Amino acid sequence: MNNEIKDILTAVQEGRMTIEDAVLEIRKAPYEDIGYAKPDTHRRLRQGAAEVIYGAGKTTEQIRGIVSVMLEQRQSPILITRVSSEAAEELKSGIDMKYYPEARLCIVGQMPEKSGLGKILVATGGTSDIPVAEEAAVTAEFYGNEVVRLYDVGVAGLHRLLGHLDELMSASVVIAIAGMEGALASVIGGLVDCPVIAVPTSVGYGASFEGLSALLSMMNSCAAGVSVVNIDNGFGAGFLANRINHMEAR
């Protein structure tokens, strides 16, 4: 919130915005009711980031309508999560956007310049975890972070992870993504001096209980400094990593 209001006040100070336009920007209705949705038009002012559209369960017309309202309110760029390839093809008609199929994300508008304090490293236990990892990585990039990808470095072959200690040690945040028993987060947590965000995935055999086993393992990590988001929640991890990587001295 503070950064957004500072930008408005700076624009007034530099003559790029009139006082009247600044007042209008701040006094806009906090949301717009379009019947099936109420887009939060003040979220960027409150939280420094515009509302994200969760695509799963919405029709393409509903998504298109929400995007239209957000663009009218100058809420760009826009992130749309959990979009199937079929829905993305439909949305491309009438919306200028880029689709990331592995991450199942759509981005309307341009990616911002890199502005984070350091690098966010996204590591996976296996190749099967990459869809969740890409959701996290592209989300972090959407918010202006430099992302390093380190895939298929699980504990079944620990030497693969240890061969990348330089990248691990130089990261400002690590997102550790794994299914099965979810041990990767604990191992990384014991190596680095930065926050580790653990993401359990629903990858694994029957006793993994669709990610519950990895979730409990990560929550019981003996390494300090490891936090955990929900199963398959790559977006949540990418968003949190962005917050950490953009912390300012207050």
C-beta separation of 171 from 148 below 8 A: yes
- Provide mean pLDDT across the span 211-227: 94
Query: Do residues 60 and 90 touch, judged by C-beta distance below 8 A?
Result: yes
Question: Does residue 1 register a pLDDT over 50?
Answer: no
The reported pLDDT for the residue numbered 210 is: 93
* pLDDT given at position 100: 95
Q: How many CB atoms lie within 10 A of CB 227?
A: 16
- Name the residue type at position 101: P
pLDDT in tens, 96-130: 889 999 999 999 988 888 888 899 999 999 999 99
pLDDT at 122: 98
CA-closest candidate to residue 142, choices 224, 50, 213, 221: 50
The DSSP code for 52 is P
The pLDDT value recorded for residue 33 is 67
**205 DSSP 8-state letter:** -
- What is the chain's mean pLDDT, rounded? 88
Q: Which residue has the tokens 């006793």?
A: 207
Query: For position 13, what pLDDT does the model report?
Result: 87
Residue among 35, 110, 34 nearest 72 (CA): 34
pLDDT at site 34: 72
User: How confident is the model over 10-35, as a mean pLDDT?
Assistant: 77
Identify the band that residue 73 occupies on the pLDDT scale cut at 50, 70 and 90: confident
What is the pTM for the complete model shown? 0.84
Angle between helices 2-13 and 19-27 (to 10 degrees): 160
Does the structure show a pLDDT above 70 at 27?
A: no
Identify whether the C-beta of residue 194 lies closer than 8 Å to the C-beta of residue 120: no
pLDDT confidence of residue 38: 72
Q: Alpha-carbon distance 46 to 130, whole Å?
A: 32
Is the pLDDT at 24 greater than 50, yes or no? yes
Question: pLDDT band at residue 94, thresholds of 50, 70 and 90?
Answer: confident
The alpha carbon of residue 193 and the mean position of all alpha carbons in its chain are separated, in whole angstroms, by 22
What are the φ/ψ torsions at residue 15 (nearest 5 degrees)?
A: 80, 10
pLDDT in tens, 140-187: 999 999 999 999 998 889 999 999 999 999 999 999 999 998 899 999
Between 64 and 40, the more confident residue is 64
Percent helix / strand / coil, the chain, rounded to 5: 45, 15, 40
For residue 36, give every residue at least 6 positions away whose Cβ sits within 8 Å of its Cβ, in sequence order, or none. 62, 65
Residue 30 has a pLDDT of 75
pLDDT number for residue 250: 41
- So where are the chain's domains? 31-108, 119-245
CATH architecture of 119-245: 3-Layer(aba) Sandwich (3.40)
Residue 235: other Cβ atoms inside 10 A: 26
State yes or no: pLDDT of 2 exceeds 60. Answer: no
Q: Percent of the chain, pLDDT > 70?
A: 91
